[in-house]
Amino acid sequence: MSNTIISTDFTFPGQKKVYKGKVREVYTLENDILVMIATDRLSAFDVVMPKGIPYKGQILNQIATKMMADTSDLVPNWLIATPDPNVAIGHACTPFKVEMVIRGYLSGHAAREYKSGKRKLCGVPMPEGMKENDPFPEPIITPATKAEKGDHDEDISREDILRRGIVSEADYVVLEKYTRALFQRGTEIAAKRGLILVDTKYEFGKMKDGTIVLIDEIHTPDSSRYFYAEGYQERQDRGEAQKQLSKEFVRQWLIQNGFQGLAGQTVPEMSDEYIKTVSDRYIELYENITGEVFRPADISDIKKRIENNVLNFL
């Protein structure tokens, strides 16, 4: 698709290095400032799809920055400003090498593990007799190790994180506390919109002064799964699939087309028509999560727009 941003090659004043993740590109500047650009790349099963999704970067960035503002009273975060729809600028810090995944329901990866017969996920017991998309008695934290480039994130238990010294026990206690507080707030925000926050992940870093802060995205369709609250219980009672707002619809399409990111598998062709439906779903999700009408940015020359806005801010 034209008018999407797949990669960037900016040179900003005081630029020291660039990191390119699956979806975001992060420019480190002098004075410990980061410029994070949300591209339109789509990642599923830890594989980046060959085509971009129009407006996806804008949507992810704007949801994440709104949610950071809505949770800043609970947990400090890295954000300073958002000078462009696709850009967040904030403080550099040292990321913890774990993703704090929290699950309120037996869905997605947890459901797939459960169906295979497992009753523990990341060392956390899952009760017998659950159906897919049933709620857990209380939310469970199932961390994942941060993947090096190109590798899959891996489930890991709290015990292994501490035993391997990936995070100190004192810091991990803070990460757990922050994760539960953010998930509770996210659940409350979702409920006001007629949604259920099913599961999500949070990433944290440590500033030079030792402050632990929330980084990266939060409560977006890429990092979270949402169900529509209306009809949820009826669908569960009938054994039907839940109506959901998340990236899971992309994963299911890929599975149906023979792709789960496994060795030897080829990413199926995504037609322009299918890509438009994905973009429309992201816009739908934005409007449902935020309660606001999506206002598309000018995409006639995205790179120039981003460059001008960042330079004007700096």
| Mean local confidence (pLDDT), 164-184 | 97
pLDDT number for residue 150: 47
Asked if 220 and 165 sit in the same domain, the reply is: yes
Asked if 142 and 207 sit in the same domain, the reply is: yes
Instruction: Of 17, 18, 14, give the one whose Cα is nearest residue 31.
Output: 14
Tens digit of pLDDT for each residue in 17-37? 999 988 899 999 999 999 999
The token pair at 161 is: 């994180």
Q: What percent of the chain is predicted at pLDDT more than 70?
A: 97
* Coil, helix or strand at residue 139: strand
Residue 1 pLDDT greater than 50, yes or no:
no
In a domain, 101, yes or no: yes
Judge contact between 58 and 306, C-beta under 8 A. no
In a domain, 228, yes or no: yes
| Mean local confidence (pLDDT), 214-226 | 89
Tens digit of pLDDT for each residue in 241-263? 998 877 777 888 898 898 988 88
Instruction: Of 229, 178, 220, 152, give the one whose Cα is nearest residue 76.
Output: 178
Asked if 118 and 83 sit in the same domain, the reply is: no
**Distance in angstroms (rounded) separating the CA atoms of residues 92 and 205:** 9
pLDDT number for residue 247: 75
The number of distinct structural domains making up the chain is 2
**Distance in angstroms (rounded) separating the CA atoms of residues 247 and 263:** 22
In a domain, 259, yes or no: no
pLDDT number for residue 148: 56
In a domain, 258, yes or no: no
pTM comes to 0.87
In a domain, 30, yes or no: yes
pLDDT number for residue 222: 81
Average pLDDT in the chain: 92
Instruction: Of 278, 262, 238, 294, give the one whose Cα is nearest residue 85.
Output: 294
Owning domain of residue 23: 15-93+274-313
Asked if 135 and 57 sit in the same domain, the reply is: no
pLDDT number for residue 249: 79
Asked if 70 and 107 sit in the same domain, the reply is: no
Tens digit of pLDDT for each residue in 132-149? 999 999 999 999 997 655
Tens digit of pLDDT for each residue in 262-278? 888 888 888 889 999 88
pLDDT number for residue 2: 55
Asked if 147 and 123 sit in the same domain, the reply is: yes
Judge contact between 202 and 208, C-beta under 8 A. no
Residue 151 pLDDT greater than 60, yes or no:
no
Asked if 185 and 231 sit in the same domain, the reply is: yes
Asked if 42 and 118 sit in the same domain, the reply is: no
Asked if 182 and 286 sit in the same domain, the reply is: no
| Mean local confidence (pLDDT), 282-296 | 92
Judge contact between 260 and 45, C-beta under 8 A. yes
| Mean local confidence (pLDDT), 227-236 | 96
* Coil, helix or strand at residue 287: helix
pLDDT confidence tier of residue 152, bands split at 50, 70 and 90? low
Tens digit of pLDDT for each residue in 82-112? 999 999 999 999 999 999 999 999 998 999 9
Q: Which residue has the higher pLDDT, 43 or 196?
A: 196
